[in-house]
Amino acid sequence: MSWRNEDFEKNLAKLMGSYRLPLASILYRLSGMADFREDPSMNRVRQWLEKSGLTMHELGLRMGYDEQTARKAVWQFLRTADPRVGMLRKFAAAAGVPLVELVAEKKQKGKSG
C-alpha cells in the first residue's frame, strides 16, 4: 500500500471535518506523540445517560437547547474526550447530579491521604 499525497490530504480533510480540530492538533494526534486519555467524567456522563433511559433529544432539551439542536448538541458533547466545565455544569443541572460527583477523582485503594 502506498501513501500518495492525495490520499493523505483526503484522510486529513475527513479528520478535520469530523472533529473540527485545529490542524496542529490533528497532526499531533496522528503522529502518535499524543498520550491523551479521556476525562473520567465523560464515562460517568455516558453511564448516567444509559441508566436514565432518556434520549439524547430529551437530555438536550433539559440542558437548555432548542428542539432543532438538542440531540446534536448532546451527541457532540458525548463524543468529546475533554469536556468544558460549562458543558459539564449544564449536564449536571439537567441530570440533577452534583457537578462534584462527575468530576471527583476516585480514591485509589491502599493509598492514604
DSSP string across 14-28: HHHHHH---HHHHHH
Asked if 42 and 77 touch (Cβ cutoff 8 Å), the reply is no
Domain containing 89 — which CATH number?
A: 1.10.260
pLDDT of the residue at 38: 81
Rounded CA-CA distance 68/61 in Å is: 10
Give yes or no: residues 9 and 44 share one domain: no
pLDDT in tens, 47-83: 999 999 999 999 999 999 999 999 999 999 998 888 9
pLDDT of the residue at 62: 96
Give yes or no: residues 26 and 65 share one domain: no
Give yes or no: residues 45 and 97 share one domain: yes
Give yes or no: residues 32 and 53 share one domain: no
Count of domains observed in the chain: 2
DSSP annotation of 98 reads -
Give yes or no: residues 29 and 45 share one domain: no
Asked if 54 and 13 touch (Cβ cutoff 8 Å), the reply is no
Q: Which residue has the cell 438536550?
A: 60
Percent of the chain at pLDDT exceeding 90: 43
Residue 109 lies in a domain: no
Give yes or no: residues 24 and 55 share one domain: no
Q: Nearest CA to 97 among 55, 52, 33?
A: 52
Give yes or no: residues 44 and 94 share one domain: yes
Give yes or no: residues 57 and 96 share one domain: yes
Residue range(s) defining the domain that contains residue 84: 40-103
